[in-house]
Structure 1
Amino acid sequence: MKSLAHSLLLLGLCALMVLAPSAARRSAAQQTVADKQAPRLTLSREKNMLYIHGDHIPGGTIPINYLEAYCRAGSTDADWGKHTVVKHETQTIDLNDDRSVLKLKCTVADGITVEHTITAKSDEVDFQLVAHNPTQVRSEVHWAQPCIRVGEFAGLGAEQTDDKYAYIRKSFIFLDGKPAFMPTRNWATTARYIPGQVWCPANVPRTDVNPRPLSSEVPSNGLIGCYSADDRWIFATAFEPYQELFQGVIRCLHADFRLGGLQPGETKKIRGKIYIVPADMNALLKRYQNDFPEHAQKR
């Protein structure tokens, strides 16, 4: 009996040795298939445009003028070209083979440099910026603009409608802690340049934002976004620190980031996110709050 039991035990162990690698191979193969089927975002850059690509993105691509401008303070009622914009050049440092990590370097006319590491994941794009002033003079650059074109995503691009502002009805910020769709209450209509809408957080001087109509409303947080044409997806973006939220004139949305003027030798870090997620606003808000806990304190 002992001999029989021993033989059966050996037989069982042999079976396990044969089956375990097979099961592991099946598991690995299944994971590979799952990885291939999972949504995937990739990046490309042409001239000054950054493109986010994804088969699951409504419209297929999200174009971003990255960056549209570096800007001085005192901009709310100033001439955009003569006063506000500080010229810059952007060069591509590297784009990895699977187009998931893009590295850029901006050189601004007053001498500061800004290095950008942009990483595409399955449902977000992460931005890590390092701004440095190597000069002996304080930089005048206070904020900068990534101009994100969302018309095609919202199903209201140039090919769908001649109305350049139709997309705003699918766009939102947060007021009183809740999503507020545009046009939001107390919609401003007067400014040096019209139309458009700017929302300024409480910690930023209202004299230092975009010279478009400035809302009297203070946003609850730094998140701005819109729904896709079929309402199944949400695009949203945020940066820390942020200067303003802005609905622009090129079917665009902005969460413009703040530099605040760099002292000689000073280095600052800025971070940002673009989310492209299923249309679950509560899940998005929870994720955003986890990524940007500082924004809850910047009413």
Structure 2
Amino acid sequence: MRIPYKYFSLLLLVSLFVGCSSHDDEGLQTVDMPVRIAIPTGNMVMRAYGDPGTYETFQLPRYIYLFLVTTHTHNGVTTKTVQRPLSHTLSADKWEKKLGAQTAFQVAGTDSLYVYTGDIHVMLPKDRTSGEVYCAVSPVELDISDHGYPQTEEAVKNVTFNFKADASGSYDFLKDIYTSPYNYKIGGKYYGEVTDYATDYPSVDMVLYHVAARLDLDWNVAPAIQPNVRLSGISVSDLKKENCYLFRPMENDGAGANTYTYDLPVNIGNQWYGRHYFYIIPYKNGGEFPIRLQMRKNGSTVNKLQQVNIQIAKTSPVFTPWMYGQIAINNGWTE
């Protein structure tokens, strides 16, 4: 199988506006900090790669998970603390579409942005010297490790989540979970570092990216063998769904014991050739991304198994990739 890939990341935007607390003239005061996060609308409804007749749609997130790591000094002693995580339900009617050129966010071309205009307050402590924000948003509630309350900065970076199929048996919501990768740096610094933290006017602007990778597969049965070989099923198995890193999406190691299988929609209309894409949590096994295919032909209940290890030599260590693979069946089929 030949599997080139492209990076695929989606930018997300939520504006978090806050008010300032009252203060006097002596030193830093406790304040509410504005955090802004944005998503280009061009990625909310887009055409599939290589398929000009198909649209891909995304859901706007409903839940936000924000962790603030503060470095502060008191009586000459410097410590780091993790503020109680912000967990908030986003209101659908608070999203507003705006032209990217009319905002402070850098977007390509004339893309518009969805801006969240509801008030979300992030309280900062006194005696602060620096701070970092780690943020994730999702259309569904996430089952987060440490009961959602990591106690140290390293624990925040190592937060994991589990998921299961929704009521319809679908995992499509994976494509709508976005995060701030812990190792994404701008100007040599983590991009979630708060600006002017040690002042009374701190702020942070962030874009969020896919926590899942896009797996894009097409299949083709050679015309010469089509009278005898018609695909009746293609499945991708051993997919990860537990202990998935939230802020380290490219550092998952192994699928774990409890996995799931994704069945591609093979039917009479695409039994010889077709294409389908979906989202998975990428994980490495010995430096490779393993993909396990199960295929069935007409009149058979036996799965033909094929293990494919994808070596992604040029992928980013920060952003999850867009992986494209071709399944070519050119010869006869043996069970």
TM interval, short-chain normalised: under 0.3
Highest relative contact order (Cα 8 Å, sep 6+), 1 or 2? 2
Bigger CA radius of gyration = 1
More helix by share: 1
More strand by share: 2
